Amino acid sequence: MVGNINTPMLVEVSKPELSELSSLFDHSEFPPIEIDQALVYSLPLVNRFRRIIVREGVLLRRGDCWGEFAPFWDYGPHESKRWLWATVNALTEPLPDPVRQSVPVNVTVPVVSPARATQIVEQSGGCRTAKVKVADRGTELADDVERVKAVRAALEKHFGEDYQIRVDANGAWNLEEAKTAIAALNEAAGGLEYVEQPCKSAEELSELRKTVSVPIAVDELIRRFPNPLAELPEDCADVMVVKIQPLGGVQAVLDLAQEANKRGMEVVVSSAVDSAIGIGLGVRAAAALPQLPHACGLATSQLLKSDISRESWQVKGGCLEVRAVEVNPDLIQVADTEPRRDLVKRWSQRIRDVAEVATR
């Protein structure tokens, strides 16, 4: 399910359809909300990422507040419910006060050639931490090793030894594959900061953590748990990657981070390849955390060819500044073509499907 792979779209939902969407909240577990505006977006990516080439989602506005609903297409209605809660909470909850005015971020390197990986690092806006995607379908470990080596060389060129490299396998390895890959990638990186979601299951992660020295981070595992920490074994991870949309909103992430810290886990705030609205919410969450030991995975606007905001997110000195986000009204289109109508139809239906499973 993708839109036009070359043309960005930001399509406004008509007034009658908007009224219908608002009414869906009247008889569900969500609080009744009067939505003032709904925009559906389709944004092409610079490179294929997470097996997608276009990022799609819905932006909802209530007064001056914006929320974003953009579950990936492999999330069904029940799994997407928490994503919609994040949207609702963005429209109804006050944002926390920041304890810092900027947050350090990592550059994300997709599954690309070593030359392209070097270019991405050099154009990152001064990021000293790189997250390198590995274990993509149809690729070999040797490809990942060469990509990590290229990233390391680029970081060393600009920052000497003051850099970090983390890798993300998205749960692709089994236990034995993970042991072999982590050893090779750790050597290529000159020491990994951590490896994110090397295996799918908590049992595999617990066993892996006993045999490798590289810290283990969880991401997908907690996103699909109804109660992330309650169902997560205490011995399976050192780091928890938290994302606003999949976990239910800014305050939900802050509460989860507090509980994770009590269990001795460090927390990294990251993005689900959000639009500028979602990035803004992630930055506010990261800026409110008492401790921020790792760079955040919030510089994913760099993965998009274009975005929906009047002012794009620009990394400066390896950081993103805390600021408000304003949707660019000049980009808004009416649903007067078949691709635009289809985009609105598909995402309106996704909200209906989630509201239906959340019916009181």
- Indicate which residues carry an active-site annotation: 133, 243
The residues with which 164 forms a beta bridge, in sequence order, are: 129
Nearest to 278 by CA among 117, 43, 1: 43
- With a CB cutoff of 8 Å and minimum separation 6, the contacts of 353 are 77, 80
DSSP labels for 25-37? GGGBSSPP----E
3 state SS of 190: coil
Quick check: 219 and 264 in contact, CB under 8 A? no
- Any idea which residue has 């993708």 for tokens? 2
Nearest to 68 by CA among 297, 347, 353, 352: 347
Give first-to-last CA distance, the chain, whole Å. 29
